[in-house]
Structure 1
């Protein structure tokens, strides 16, 4: 994290819900897959993920967007939970790796909870976010949408402790930054200082 001091700016980190959900006692690792809420109709990607992890000893939670008909994804093995939408904060708190489109909110939430990522950006600004996560060692880039590559990169991130360690390190900086409480304190301080 870069420390920047200024009397014009306050850096308080991301605004992420810190609600703690029940942590499931898992007997196997969990992958969370989501392409966000806007450009999420990538049926071939979802099918490749299903084929990559079907019948694996890994639980896979997938959010496919409200406009995706889950039936068109074909046969789904019983180690999958596929929904049109999910409570992402709750799912992340139980996940070991997040396959993400790299939207800023999703990345901030993933890092806040120390979850390393497989980075699959869909747009130019998401590519910038993905590159930063990659540079900080909290995720690996998914450069191809094919079954073998999805599985290879995801298992690399899941099984290489350096990704988790880097995600947890970034999580600590997010928590120290102060979030919404620090932002409201800064605003109230400015109001008090500028009273006539």
Structure 2
């Protein structure tokens, strides 16, 4: 779905954020928890989108924020670079390979014999 949109209004969960990055879609993050606020702040810090506080979210403000986001060429440039990096990382298959490789190199945990 994200490959077919111009912008993504998101709660800034990690899964949603990574999907948007992989698709190169600018984000308007409306975080509702401390965890998602951290992600939303990082989106802004990296120039990948903008945030809007839940208390400030009205139809007019949402419309204006998306329009501003879509007009920001620097966000598009930054997203393009990050999208390429995300794709080069290999996604879930590469993560599985890395975890499996680590498990093979690590000694097996010893079972405790204390009673």
1:192/1:166 Cα in 2 relative to 1: closer, same or farther (>3 Å)? same
CA distance, structure 1, for counterparts of residue 39 and residue 103 of structure 2 = 34
Q: Secondary structure at the match of 1:122?
A: coil
TM-score if structure 2 supplies the norm length? 0.80
Higher strand share: 1
1:191/1:172 Cα in 2 relative to 1: closer, same or farther (>3 Å)? same
Q: Which of 121, 132, 153 is residue 31 of structure 2 equivalent to?
A: 121
CA distance, structure 2, for counterparts of residue 182 and residue 163 of structure 1 = 27
Paired residues for 1:16-35 under 5 Å: none
Higher helix share: 2
CA distance, structure 2, for counterparts of residue 148 and residue 194 of structure 1 = 55
The number of residue pairs the alignment matches comes to: 105
Deviations 1:22-61 (A, max 9, x none): xxxxxxxxxxxxxxxxxxxxxxxxxxxxxxxxxxxxxxxx
TM-score if structure 1 supplies the norm length? 0.49
Aligned alpha-carbon RMSD (Å): 1.9
CA distance, structure 1, for counterparts of residue 95 and residue 26 of structure 2 = 27
Aligned to 1:105: 15
CA distance, structure 2, for counterparts of residue 187 and residue 124 of structure 1 = 28
Aligned to 1:152: 64
